[in-house]
Amino acid sequence: MRFSISLVLLFSLCLGHGIVELEASHCIYDQLQISLNVSSNSTDQPYRTGYHFQPHKNWINDPNGVMIHNGIYHLFYQYNPKGVVWGNIVWAHSTSEDLINWVSHEPAISPSQKYDEKGCWSGSATILPGDKPAILYTGIDLDNNQVQNLAFPKNLSDPYLIEWEKFPKNPLMAPDSKNGINASAFRDPSTAWQGPDKAWRVVIGSKNDDLGLAILFRSEDFITWSQAKRPLHSGKHTGMWECPDFYPVAVDNVTGLDTSTLGSNVKHVLKVSLDNTKHDYYTIGNYNYRTDKYIPDNGSIEGDRGLKYDYGKFYASKTFFDSARNRRVLWGWINESSSVKDDAKKGWSGLQAIPRTVWLDKSGKQLIQWPVAELEMLRDNEIHLQHKSLDAGSTHEITGITAAQADVDISLEITDINKAEVINLKRHHAQKLCNERNASAKGSLGPFGLKVLASNDSQEFTAVFFRIFIRKASKQPVVLMCSDQSRSSLNNDNDKTTYGTFLNVDPVSEKISLRSLIDHSIVESFGGGGKSCITARVYPKLAVDDKAHLYVFNNGTEAVKVASLKAWSLKDAHIK
């Protein structure tokens, strides 16, 4: 469509320039809250995904109220029905029988009352006794206070739970300055859990200056809630805790647990979305239900130096217990890395990551994440590669699949750990190290890995790769995992940040594995069998559709071996 000059100028504005700011992550573009009649036909949409969840048009963000009820999966999510930027937020609703193919319904919750007139923000679903779902969500009232509200399905006999009713006594929880609650920082109720005393607990994200808070509320009947004297947990110098998620994980197996599960073989995970950094961090620890206090394990670090679900684009995540398959499933919002002007041209912004099964690693020190098994039903055109040597500076193209829409699983071996570079890790942050030593910077053992969404002349590519170092102090090997977007597109208006993390695997005694899900404008990568994840948004100009290529590469001075590689084209999911 043709844009007026004034509208184009508006799209170039950012924080502090022509918008009203309601906390850092909720920016209101007052002059852009209009429907844009932008084409979203597949012929002119090279960045629309084939198997990731995204609506036909407009803005989406946080996954909300994710649950399974009577065999049907429900995904609610923040949605702007009027435009491609954040605003006019409702709870959109889609259902599925397999977490991959989805049918859209009318919005389940929309602003309609004094307590949510200015927005229906994020929240969670809890399955109450009698198999009755209940949604707790944040409403923004006429005074811009953030308050917590309750909604129930209107008709439990409807398998799709299309209509929802707000509880007549809303709001159930409101900010109280006497209890230290900031009215503009009191949001995103978690899934509730029930203790042995049969009382329900829920946590709300908040802050006190730069102290992040998971404020605890209790209820006997899920309707009358009282604030506990102490938060479930807090973290210094972390800022606003958005979208808190608190759930149990089994110590001795990979089976998921109902949110109310307690026991000697159970640890707990507290995840918070840090508004300051736009990343999801988690700690693993112990929950004392008698005192309602959560204490992270020694070595489980709060804030920016701690563990992340994903070291790339991934935020406002939510888990649920899938009672049909006894697993815990994680959803996360993937924001764009393109400009607002480009988002308006394509008519949409944001999508959801592939749902991931989550369990506790055998070490007990971190989580494992892996794409749900249902994704594999989209696989087609399987190819194999085994025992392939990658000499110094070599590149090998993977053909026979659709490189723009693929699932690639590779296992790599190094030849001689003694050739690894020595590094003082006290002086290096993983992401900074990936930036300084990108895919084009030659090393000894690395960089080696995949080049995806690559043009045939290598003007464009996204590299997901590893480097092996030896720690200067301990003489132990360390593996760096990177996702390099620096050459992902000829369009310099995009955010092309390079992401990185250290991967907790021993390259001497085990192979280094990498699985990457490639879907036109998104690359989700899982290193070490899901120990570390990095998601990237990329928008190539040349490596589009059938012009995209896929390579295995080694830009180090030492040879590495492809122990095995399996790759598949992935068919489109049905998202109606």
Mean pLDDT of 213-230: 97
Q: CB neighbours (10 Å) of residue 151?
A: 23
**Is 224 among the domain residues?**
yes
Quick one: DSSP state of residue 190?
P
List pLDDT tens digits, range 387-408: 999 999 999 999 999 999 999 9
Active site residues: 62
Judgement on whether residues 365 and 479 belong to the same structural domain of the protein: no
Judgement on whether residues 153 and 187 belong to the same structural domain of the protein: yes
**Is 97 among the domain residues?**
yes
Judgement on whether residues 25 and 133 belong to the same structural domain of the protein: yes
For the record, the structure tokens of 464 come out as 């997901």
What's the whole-model pTM score? 0.93
List pLDDT tens digits, range 247-288: 999 999 999 999 999 999 999 999 999 999 999 999 999 999
Judgement on whether residues 289 and 403 belong to the same structural domain of the protein: no
CATH number at residue 490: 2.60.120.560
**Is 33 among the domain residues?**
yes
CB within 8 A of 311, min separation 6: which ones? 279, 430, 431, 483, 499, 500, 501, 532, 533, 534
pLDDT at residue 26, as a whole number: 60
Judgement on whether residues 425 and 280 belong to the same structural domain of the protein: no
For the record, the structure tokens of 331 come out as 């959803």
Count, residues in the chain: 576
How confident is the prediction for the chain on average, in pLDDT? 92
Please say whether the beta carbons of 62 and 78 come within 8 A.
yes
| Local confidence band at 576 (pLDDT 50, 70, 90 cut-offs) | confident
| Local confidence band at 450 (pLDDT 50, 70, 90 cut-offs) | very high
Judgement on whether residues 177 and 72 belong to the same structural domain of the protein: yes
pLDDT at residue 428, as a whole number: 75
CB within 8 A of 376, min separation 6: which ones? 407
222 by Cβ neighbours in 10 Å (0-12 / 13-18 / 19+) ranks as buried
SS3 376: helix
**Is 575 among the domain residues?**
no
Buried b / exposed e across 418-435, counting CB within 10 Å, b at 16+? ebbeebebeebebbebbb
Boundary of a domain, candidates 347, 371, 395: 371
Mean pLDDT of 503-524: 97
**Is 576 among the domain residues?**
no
The region of weakest confidence among 117-131, 290-304, 324-338, 539-553 is 290-304
Give 423's Cβ-side CA count (13 Å radius). 24
Query: Residue 469 is part of which domain span?
Result: 379-570
Boundary of a domain, candidates 337, 371, 405: 371
Rounded CA separation 444/50 (Å): 37
Judgement on whether residues 351 and 386 belong to the same structural domain of the protein: no
Counting residues of the chain whose pLDDT is more than 90, the rounded percentage is 88
CATH number at residue 218: 2.115.10.20
For the record, the structure tokens of 215 come out as 């404020």
Please say whether the beta carbons of 223 and 150 come within 8 A.
yes
Judgement on whether residues 338 and 449 belong to the same structural domain of the protein: no
Closest CA to 238 of 187, 204, 279: 279
Judgement on whether residues 350 and 442 belong to the same structural domain of the protein: no
pLDDT at residue 22, as a whole number: 40
What is the DSSP pairing of strand 351-352 with strand 327-334? Answer: antiparallel
**Is 81 among the domain residues?**
yes
For the record, the structure tokens of 272 come out as 């918070």
Helix (H) or strand (E) holding 5, with range, is helix 5-11
| Local confidence band at 465 (pLDDT 50, 70, 90 cut-offs) | very high
| Local confidence band at 562 (pLDDT 50, 70, 90 cut-offs) | very high
Rounded CA separation 246/193 (Å): 9
Q: Which residue's structure tokens are 């670090």?
A: 301
Judgement on whether residues 278 and 420 belong to the same structural domain of the protein: no
pLDDT at residue 43, as a whole number: 57
Boundary of a domain, candidates 342, 371, 400: 371
Mean pLDDT of 436-447: 95
Judgement on whether residues 119 and 183 belong to the same structural domain of the protein: yes
List pLDDT tens digits, range 9-46: 333 334 333 333 344 346 554 444 544 444 444 457 99
pLDDT at residue 300, as a whole number: 86
Residue 57 backbone dihedrals phi, psi, to 5 degrees: -155, 170
pLDDT at residue 444, as a whole number: 95
**Is 114 among the domain residues?**
yes
List pLDDT tens digits, range 155-198: 999 999 999 999 999 999 999 888 778 899 999 999 999 999 99
Judgement on whether residues 363 and 404 belong to the same structural domain of the protein: no
How many domains does the structure of the chain reveal?
2
Quick one: DSSP state of residue 33?
-
Rounded CA separation 184/139 (Å): 11
Residue 161's identity, in one-letter code, is: L
Distance of CA 301 to the CA centre of its chain: 20
**Is 132 among the domain residues?**
yes
pLDDT > 60? residue 8: no
